[in-house]
């Protein structure tokens, strides 16, 4: 049974949001994915969620993680899991240890490419008993077909698909509390700038 995601039971996992790899996203505007990724990072900071960042082969074409992540989440950035090239980050021992160390069983995941970076760890985490929400507009794919197949595969495995604004609202619980007001500001400045 899926239970609500709260600031007390959830952790944020951002997978491979690297400046080179992000150029592979074509099913959504890249700027939208970037804004939503940073909005999730800001949400985690406001709500004091544990965050695990990971990257793959930063010195190659994939490049470093988005530099803004280092500004928003300096500790998580400093302790990011730098993988040598393992595709399913869930099978990387260091990443798995970092996730377990959060003590949270509700995982909010976004991966720079849905069809490679996100689909495999999201399914693997569900198979191990975690509740997982995949943030689809902070992830993307080179092709519509690979995006759609990955979405279907995750849903069949029990991953809940969501969007940044929906995830923020679920975590906020009440816009009138102090953190809720801070989240609203992020929502209107970063996620929904066209209607602000």
Residue 61 burial (C-beta neighbours within 10 Å; 0-12, 13-18, 19+): exposed
> What are the two backbone dihedrals, phi and then psi, of residue 158, each rounded to the nearest 5 degrees?
105, 5
Give dist(CA 128, CA 36) in Å, integer.
27
Do residues 89 and 66 lie in contact, with contact meaning Cβ atoms separated by under 8 Å?
no
> Given 76, 108, 116, 117, which residue is catalytic?
117
Beta bridge partners of 82: 55
Instruction: Sheet containing 51-56: give its strands across.
Output: 81-83, 51-56, 10-15, 106-111, 131-135, 160-162
Do residues 91 and 83 lie in contact, with contact meaning Cβ atoms separated by under 8 Å?
no
101 part of the active site: no
Which helix (DSSP H) or strand (DSSP E) does residue 162 occupy?
Answer: strand 160-162
Give dist(CA 152, CA 130) in Å, integer.
19
Q: Which residues are catalytic?
A: 117
């Amino acid at each position: 049974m899926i239970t609500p995601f709260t600031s007390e039971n959830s952790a944020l996992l951002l997978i491979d949001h690297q400046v080179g790899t992000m150029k592979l996203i074509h099913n959504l505007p890249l700027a939208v994915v970037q804004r939503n990724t940073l909005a999730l990072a800001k949400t985690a900071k406001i709500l004091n969620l544990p965050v695990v960042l990971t990257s793959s082969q930063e010195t190659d074409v994939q490049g470093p993680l988005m530099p803004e992540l280092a500004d928003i989440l300096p500790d998580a950035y400093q302790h990011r899991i730098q993988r040598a090239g393992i595709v399913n980050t869930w099978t990387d021992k260091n990443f798995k240890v970092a996730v377990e160390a959060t003590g949270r069983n509700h995982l909010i995941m976004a991966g720079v490419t849905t069809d490679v970076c996100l689909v495999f760890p999201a399914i693997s985490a569900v198979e191990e008993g975690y509740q997982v929400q995949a943030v689809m507009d902070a992830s993307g794919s080179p092709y519509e077909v690979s995006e759609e197949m990955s979405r279907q595969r995750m849903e069949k495995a029990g991953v809940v698909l969501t969007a940044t604004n929906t995830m923020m609202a679920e975590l906020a619980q009440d816009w009138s509390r102090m953190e809720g007001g801070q989240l609203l500001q992020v929502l209107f400045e970063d996620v929904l700038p066209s209607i602000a």
